[in-house]
Amino acid sequence: MSQHPHGPGGPYRPGGGQPPQFPGGPGPMMVPPRPPMTAQLRLLLRLTLLSLGVSVANSLVETAAGPSTLPGMEDVVRVPGLPGGGLAAAVMLFGVLLTVALYALVWFPLREQLQWGWILGLVFCSLAVLGDVFDLAVYLLGGHLLPGLSTTVLVAVNVVWLIVAGRPGVRAALR
């Protein structure tokens, strides 16, 4: 008879024996190995970088050719070649840096095959698509075709990202 109230294996190891050993480590506290990287997860990582590039390009197009988002601020520190002046350039630069940071919050965990990066990506991408569809309507109704076209490309890339993210091969590669 065992001295342990839960039997010879303890409360978490029915049947007793040694704790599970994972390849590459001597102790039971080793992290289990990652699932293999699937082609669908690689595609999702590429789409994440493509979406970042299209998003940055879209920001540039919106700043250069989009409607003025700050009415009455046209005469504030002008930057040659940019309608809206230096304030528009500063706002765009801040937006690009914030966008890069948010994409990094998704890309790096996805590269490490962490499920929370995938979930965060789904949330961010869904919100981006909703906001961009609204922007698209504003641009097209206002007659701003170039920003409307770049926003259409961004929406298309993000919708493809959401479709690929929902594939079973992506979820199978996450831990």
Q: Single out the residue of 132, 134, 145 nearest to residue 61, CA to CA.
A: 145
Q: Is the pLDDT of residue 35 over 60?
A: yes
Residue 17 lies inside a defined structural domain of this protein: no
Beta-carbon count within 10 A of 98 CB: 10
Both tokens assigned to 76: 């504030």
Q: Single out the residue of 151, 111, 148 nearest to residue 129, CA to CA.
A: 151
Residue 69 lies inside a defined structural domain of this protein: yes
Count of structural domains within the chain:
1
Q: Is the pLDDT of residue 87 over 70?
A: yes
Residue 34 lies inside a defined structural domain of this protein: no
Both tokens assigned to 157: 């890339």
Span 30-52, average pLDDT: 91
Q: Is the pLDDT of residue 9 over 80?
A: no
% of residues, the chain, pLDDT over 90: 59
Residue 52 lies inside a defined structural domain of this protein: yes
Residue 12 lies inside a defined structural domain of this protein: no
Which of 9-23, 25-39, 55-69, 141-155 is predicted most confidently?
A: 141-155
Q: Is the pLDDT of residue 1 over 80?
A: no
Q: Is the pLDDT of residue 156 over 50?
A: yes
> 70 vs 174, which has greater pLDDT?
174
Beta-carbon count within 10 A of 77 CB: 11
Q: Nearest-5° angle of CA 143, CA 147, CA 151?
A: 120
Residue 46 lies inside a defined structural domain of this protein: yes
DSSP 8-state class, residue 133: H
* Containing structural domain, residue 154: 39-172
